[in-house]
Structure 1
Amino acid sequence: MGPPAVGKLTIARELASRCGAIVVDNHLVNNAVFVPLGLNRGEEVSLADTDALRARVLDVVLEATEAAPARFSHVFTIWLPEGPGNAAYVERLRDLAHRRGARFVPVWLTADAGALLSRVDAPERAQRSKLTDAAVLQDLLEVPLLAAPEDGLTIDTTKIAPAQAVTQILESLR
């Protein structure tokens, strides 16, 4: 979990390359709605206007994850502002892991605002229909993030490489 441009997908992919997990990026859910609606193409569609559709897509993704063979591990990425619905989402993932007999490792990624703002307009972000507007990110950074659960691992990605973050995650499992 972490704000836009913190390195969620990059770190998830590095983790997957080391342990064979399946990456379930938040844009798997979001883009199924954002792309057809033309979000980020100047259309007058707010993020809140997409909530119900994204919730339905998420239900299907979580159902498919639960149905996956037990040998598969999954790494989910998400940005979660403070709020009871988002705390419930974390518990939903925790329960899913429990039902699958998998270990749940909540990882909270942070970075200072300057680092996030310097990363947000990277060309590869636009290829995945990710946020690329620094002004919008600046507004989002004013929204408090959901606090990490007690068993959460917090990693500051301001000055470390994705490989170092993954090493910290893997070391926490020992």
Structure 2
Amino acid sequence: MKLLFLHGPPAAGKYTIARAVSDATGLPLFHNHLIVDAVHAVFPFGSPGFVALRERFWLDVIRAAVAEGRSLIFTFQPESSVSPGFPEQVAGIVAAGGGDTIFVQLRLDLAGQISRIANDDRARFGKLRDTALLEQLHADFAACETAMPASALTIDTASTAPADAAARIIALLTAPQSN
């Protein structure tokens, strides 16, 4: 079982690239907004109920996938309402079930995020589209990103097309594992 843990800042292309990887490999895509949107329908973002339920749902789905040996893609945006150590906890669950977590970081500088943030396709999942709020939260996002575990691959999406990024990730997923 493999868990592709794809992470990065807002508008870095997590969903677009993950969708391309999913389409090419058949791996299911468990993207961030499936749970965020469901929980946010009832609880304000960042509220205690929101934080607890979002994390519980994420972990329950990952545990169930591990129990069935079902590989998947998980997209994630590091930010301060997520419990410290969450990525390591996920990797521990996967490892305990005999699987591998492959962290892949997508990078995009603030100027690149600003250029993409208002794109209409972001409205589909209720993603952050407010440039002023993005600028306000940028330092928080950056600090949380630096606390992530080491990534097997880092891709700058300002200079890498989504199809090329997906191809690099697929090559990583299909490469023989070294022990």
Query: Are 1:145 and 2:140 an aligned pair?
Result: no
Report the 3-state secondary structure (helix = DSSP H, G, I; strand = E; otherwise coil) of the residue aligned with 1:108: strand
Root mean square deviation of aligned Cα = 2.3
Q: Which runs of 5+ in 1 are unaligned?
A: 38-44
Aligned equivalents of 1:139, 1:51: Cα separation in 2? 21
Aligned equivalents of 1:36, 1:171: Cα separation in 2? 40
Structure ranking higher in strand proportion = 2
Shift in CA distance, 127/59, structure 1 to aligned 2, threshold 3 Å:
same
Query: Are 1:75 and 2:81 an aligned pair?
Result: no
1:1-174 to 2 correspondence within 5 Å?
1-37=7-43, 45-49=44-48, 50-67=50-67, 69-70=68-69, 72-81=70-79, 85-86=83-84, 88-143=85-140, 144-147=143-146, 148-173=148-173, 174=175
The answer (yes or no) to whether the contact 1:22–1:74 under 8 Å persists in 2 is yes
The one-letter code matched in structure 2 to 1:98 is A
The answer (yes or no) to whether the contact 1:20–1:73 under 8 Å persists in 2 is no
Identity %: 32
Aligned residues: 164
Cα shift readout 1:50-104 (whole Å, capped 9, x = no counterpart) = 212322332432333234x32x320000111379934x22122212332443332
Shift in CA distance, 84/59, structure 1 to aligned 2, threshold 3 Å:
closer
Aligned equivalents of 1:62, 1:107: Cα separation in 2? 17
Q: Which runs of 5+ in 2 are unaligned?
A: 1-6
Which portions of structure 1, spanning 4 or more consecutive aligned residues, are displaced by more than 2 angstroms?
A: 45-50, 55-67, 81-86, 95-103, 145-152, 170-174
Shift of 1:163: 0.8
